[in-house]
Amino acid sequence: MNFKRLVITTILAASQVAMVLPASAEEIVQTNPSTEANVSGQPVNNSGNGTLNQDGTTGETTNPEQGQVEGQVEGQVEGQVEGQVTEDTTGNTVPEGQQEGTETGGPGTEGNTTTTTPVVGSTSTDTGNGQLILMMNSKKMYQNGKEYLAGYPMEVKKGVSYVSIRAIVERAGLQISYDNKTKETIIQRGTDELRFKMNTSSYKVNGVTTKMSGTSYSVKNNFMVPLTAITKALNMPYEWDQKGKRVIVSISTNPIASFSIGNKEVISGETQVQYISNAYSPSGLPIVNEEWIGREEMFMTPGQYTVTYRVQDSNGQWSDPFSLTINVVKPHTPPVANFTTDKDTYKMGELITYNDLSTDEVGIKNRDWENKELAFFTPGPVSIKLTVTNEFGLTSSIEKMITITNETLYTRDDFNKIFTPVGDKYVFDGTQVPTWDKVNYTFTSDSTTLIRSNSPETVYSEGALYRESAIGDTRFMIHHANATGKSVKMYVIATNKNTTETARLTQTNFGFAGPNQYATGVGKASVQRYYESMQTGNKYKDMWIAPGESKIILNELSATAMKQGEVISLFADLYSDHTLQYDVIMLDSSKDPFTYLPYLSVLPSDIHNRGTYAEATRHIEYSELLGTKPVRLLIGDNSSDPFLVGADAGNHGEYKLNAGNFGVVYTIKLYRVAPNTLVTFNPRGGFYTGHIMVNGNIVPVASSSGLSAPNETSVLFRTGDREQTVEFLFTAAPGSNLSVNLLFQPLPEVKQP
């Protein structure tokens, strides 16, 4: 019989009577110090104590004397324990891998505390303070010289020793309660909490679910749990007295000392250190005295300082000392702001190149420029200022003067056309755009079904927002705001009403944003993520829906509850090989969608648009030369680009016109764009912010903010010195306004300064 089996068999013998084994209310449980990096701590001289780990294990050490008793105990314990095991009709002891007793090392115990496991084979007969003696094969137990009777003996089932929670609590002085809502029995010791539930094989240690060696149950009104679930979590050292046929459990009543530091960082000569005591008495006695060694209200020199703390309870008992090492850092220095320009003197309309040379010991968090322009168009001295801020909130500024001469290199309009970065915007005279020639394009369409759920856009009550059935290529555009006054979740549920065939549903492209209070922001972000999924393919997934089955799809939509006033926006491309019914619903976040789905009616629409539209993918190809003169390609105007006609399935098939063609995806291929052509994006219907793909690259419209119609335009692309083919992929961002123009115009001649 190997050593491990011997030790655990020995403990089994002890556990036969230990159904009343008390959770050692007096055992030290180290309260974790501050989670910040400035402290580290451990109890001092912590023999017999241990650390409560998140997984319920403790950092016990192997008894050094166990190796000498193996031959003496093996033949004795096995034979004696068999007859003492309650309800174990096989006469077998606990299997080796499941026996209860000494544990060696546990996850997360390195470098914290050490528990000294009592010596196996001890013949001690004292019944002093801090000990509970459990007699084998008997209900009798002794504590501080007094005899007590357990309510129900421990029993072994399937090799696992079970003990009554109530019996442990009575003798150890722990707090016990019952949570009617969660149906959990709760044991508390100081700041530590154990939660057990009937007929389960796991429990919670300070909120962390931990596996037990068996399943809890009830017998004669006693809630039974595996013994190790409590001894490990509360770190109760014990010893087996082979000669006396008893288990001696240590339940020290000494108070527990620990503290943490409330400061995120301790800076020498600056930080007033916040010491937060976490001391307590497992017996509930008041703490009446405390002693500190090394404590300073402010540390004047950087370095590591050890602070030790102990407390005394009203019975006069002192705790073991507890120590933290505090890392005191030197005062932070502010960043150094610095920049240069490529010259000190410039012509009007001449490009200025800035070189930021700012530095910081950790890193610069923010850079704020004043009067930083790519060019200036008024002569005279110009002051440019840079202020940098590091992560500690310290700042530094620098100001530089440059001179603008009376000479003109470029006009403002010509300069913007040549030098405005792609994705940025500039101001121009947009009133002239309607006089530009239109690109007279034609288009073809794919048979994509668009399900647009955008009405009521602001939702005031729970319900179904849209309900429709579709097969084949299907696109969802969903955009709603929560005005119900409570937290809700949105779902899209797909139901296969076919009685014989399983449906395959494939998701190809997907973009979702929110919940967030800014409608235009989530609309812009959802389009960007939709394009990104096209680039990477990372949202591709297949799912199968059995006949009669309903499944939640587009799971990101329902992953987070929407608070009052928040908005979501979603684009998704799907393909189904059978007809599926789709329900877009908004429901109280605490409710089960499948329970309520059959009873939800479709809410009335508002002034916004919802409906089902066919042929929602349009392809534009144009082979004539563009860019030799100003021209415009108009989208969403209901003339060059007619609106889709469809029906509102949620309102008895009412006729609908998809104003603006939101949800339509455009692929635009221009085979011949002239050399040195500027391509920009100009809104005509109102404010616009979003993204567009140009030759496979996602370009913002615009980077820092959106565009106001009609006098702002955002740079999308510039051709080089050769004719090029340019491709665009575009869908309108929810929250923005249509129509929009793609503008093509010749670039001005580049000049030398």
Three-state secondary structure of 457-471:
CEECCCEEEEEEEEE
pLDDT at site 239: 76
Percent above pLDDT 70 for the chain:
82
Cα–Cα distances (Å) from 254 to 23, 206, 316, 420, in that order, read 14, 22, 9, 73
| Integer Cα distance of 236 and 192 in angstroms | 14
Taking 70 as the threshold, does the pLDDT of residue 86 lie above it? no
- Crossing angle of helices 66-82 and 3-15, in 10° steps, is 50
Residue 224 · residue 69 · CB < 8 Å = no
Buried b or exposed e, range 698-707, using 16+ CB within 10 angstroms: bbbbbeeebb
Length of the chain equals 753
Omega prior to 279 cis, within 30 of 0: no
3-state secondary structure of 447: coil
Q: How large is the average pLDDT for residues 661-672?
A: 98
If one compares 243 and 22, the residue with the highest pLDDT of the two is 243
Q: Tell me what pLDDT residue 32 has.
A: 36
Tens of pLDDT, residues 212-241: 999 999 988 888 888 788 777 777 777 778
**What pLDDT score was predicted for residue 163?**
79
If pLDDT is split at 50, 70 and 90, which confidence band does 456 have? Answer: very high
pLDDT for 83 beyond 90: no
Residue 176: the pLDDT is: 86
Give the model's confidence band at 143: pLDDT under 50 very low, under 70 low, under 90 confident, else very high.
Answer: confident
Pairing of strands 115-116, 217-219: unpaired
Provide the pLDDT for residue 705. 86
- What is the pLDDT confidence band of residue 159, given thresholds at 50, 70 and 90? confident
User: Looking at residues 614-642, what average pLDDT do you find?
Assistant: 97
The β-bridge partners of 146 are 143
Mean pLDDT score, 98-117: 31
Q: Lowest mean pLDDT: which of 28-37, 74-83, 278-287, 327-336?
A: 74-83
103-112, 173-182, 440-449: segment of lowest average pLDDT: 103-112
pTM over 0.75: no
Residue range 533-585, pLDDT digits in tens = 999 999 999 999 999 999 999 999 999 999 999 999 999 999 999 999 999 99
For the four alpha carbons of 56, 59, 64 and 67, in that order, the dihedral sign comes to positive
Distant-in-sequence, close-in-space partners of 153: CB < 8 Å, separation ≥ 6: 16, 17, 19, 86, 139
Q: How far apart are CA 509 and CA 503, in angstroms?
A: 19
pLDDT category, 129, cuts 50, 70, 90? low
* Helix or strand (DSSP H, E) at 178: strand 175-179
**Which helix or strand (DSSP H or E) is residue 455 part of?**
none
SS3 content of the chain, % helix, strand, coil (to 5): 15, 45, 45
CA distance 204 to 164: 17
Please, are residues 445 and 615 in contact by the beta-carbon 8 Å criterion?
Answer: yes
Q: Please state, as a whole number, how many other Cβ atoms lie within 10 Å of the Cβ of residue 604.
A: 10
Mean pLDDT, rounded, for 725-750: 97
Cβ-in-10-Å burial (0-12, 13-18, 19+) of 451 comes to buried
User: Averaged over 403-407, what is the pLDDT?
Assistant: 98
Give the three-class secondary structure for 509. Answer: strand
When pLDDT is cut at 50, 70 and 90, the band that residue 53 belongs to is: very low
Mean pLDDT of the chain: 83
Bridge partners of 202, per DSSP, are 211
Q: What is the rounded CA–CA span in Å between residue 443 and residue 441?
A: 7
CATH number of 426-444+616-746: 2.60.120
Q: What is the pLDDT of residue 148?
A: 83
CA distances from 581 to 462, 491, 496, 551, 663 (A): 20, 13, 7, 11, 20
Q: Give which of 727, 738, 726, 714 is closest to 639, Cα–Cα.
A: 738
Domain 339-409, classified CATH 3.30.450.20, yes or no: no
Classify domain 259-329 by CATH number. Answer: 2.60.40.10
